[in-house]
A and B are shown apart, each in its own frame.
Chain A
C-alpha cells in the first residue's frame, strides 16, 4: 500500500477527454462508450464493420499511453499494489460482474449517468458502494 499524489488538474483534464471521446462516439456511430460492451461485442460481432469499429476503437485506446509518452516524456504510471493472484482473481470477478450488470465505469458510470438512465444510476451507486466496502475490508479488516 502506498500513497499517490493528489492530481486534481490532470484528473479533471483526463475526465474531460473521456467525456469528449464519449460524445464523439455518440456523434459518429451513435453508441455509448462502454469499455465492456465494446470489448465483449468484438467477440460476437454482428458484421465485419461491427468488428472493425470496435477493433479500431480499442487500438486507439491502447495508443493513448504512447501519445502521453510522446508529449510528456513519461509513460503513464501503472502501479499495482497487489499480488498477481489477486490481480487475476479481481479480473475474473470484474468480467463476471460487468457481464451480468451490463456495464462498467465507462458504460454505466459515465455514459449511462449522463443520459440520466435509472438503470445506470442504480448500477453505479451499487458498484461504487461495493468497491468502497471491498477496499475497506481488504485493507482495514483483513489488513492485507
Chain B
C-alpha cells in the first residue's frame, strides 16, 4: 500500500513538473534571463506550488500523524550557517549553468533523453563527492534531509 501510494504521489509530481516547464532547461534558463529571452512562466509554477503546499500542509499538520507512519519526519535544524548559504549559492551557480534542478531532472528521465541521464549521473557524482568531503571533515558530517 505504502509503495503504491508513493508511486502515485511520484506520478502526480512528475506530471506537474512535466507540464510546468521545470523539466525543460531552455524554459528554466529563460526565466532567469530577464535581460534577454525572458519567459516568466516559472513564477506561476512557484506560486501555484507554494500556495497549494502552504494550504495543504496547514490541513495535514492538523492531524496527529501521517497515514503510514507514527509521526512526521520534518527537518529539525534551525541553523543558518555558511554551509547552508554557501551550498545554496553553489547550487544556484550549477542551476544557472545547466538549467536542470534535481526536481526537474528526475521526472525528465522518463522522456528517455540522454541529456537528462548525463545530468543526473553528474548530479549523483556531485552528491557523492560532497558526502565524501563531509565525512572526511570529522565531527560535523550532517546529512542532507
Chain B residues proximal to chain A, CB less than 8 Å: 2-27, 29-30, 32-37, 39-42, 44-54, 56-57, 59-61, 63, 65-69, 71-75, 77-80, 83-104, 106-111, 113, 115-116, 118-131, 134, 142-145
In contact, A7 and B41 (Cβ under 8 angstroms): yes
Tell which of A63, A122, A133 has the most Cβ of chain B within 10 Å: A63
| A28 close to B39 (CB less than 8 A) | no
A81 engages B18 (CB within 8 Å): no
A2 to B25, CA, bound (A): 11
Judge whether A100 and B122 touch: CB under 8 Å. Answer: no
Which of these, A15, A79, A84, A107, contacts B47 with CB under 8 Å? A15
Nearest Cβ on chain A to B90's Cβ, whole angstroms = 3
Report the minimal beta-carbon distance from B132 to chain A, rounded to whole angstroms. 10
The CA of A21 and the CA of B110, in the complex, are separated in Å by: 18
**Nearest CB of A to B1, in Å:** 9
Between A and B, 25 residue pairs with Cβ closer than 8 Å are: A3-B30, A11-B21, A12-B45, A14-B17, A14-B21, A24-B12, A24-B56, A26-B56, A31-B74, A40-B143, A62-B14, A87-B98, A91-B94, A91-B121, A96-B127, A97-B89, A97-B94, A100-B83, A106-B101, A115-B74, A130-B88, A132-B96, A134-B96, A135-B96, A139-B33
Given contacts A30-B69, A82-B98, A91-B122, whether A66 and B110 have CB atoms under 8 Å apart is yes
B12 — which chain A residues lie within 8 A by C-beta?
Answer: 17, 20-21, 24, 60
How many pairs of A and B residues are in contact by the CB < 8 Å rule? Answer: 518
Closest to A33 in B: B13
Shortest C-beta distance, A53 to chain B (Å), equals 5
Chain B binding surface, main DSSP class: helix
The smallest C-beta distance from B96 to any residue of chain A, in angstroms, reads: 3
Partner of B97, one of A23, A58, A93: A93
Q: How far is the CA of A13 from the CA of B73 in the complex (A)?
A: 28
Contact flags (1/0) for A71-85 with B, using CB distance below 8 Å? 000011111111010
- Interchain CB contact (< 8 A) of A90 among B21, B68, B98: B98
Bound CA–CA A62/B106 (angstroms): 6
Return chain B residues, CB-CB under 8 Å to A91.
94, 98, 100, 118-123, 125-126
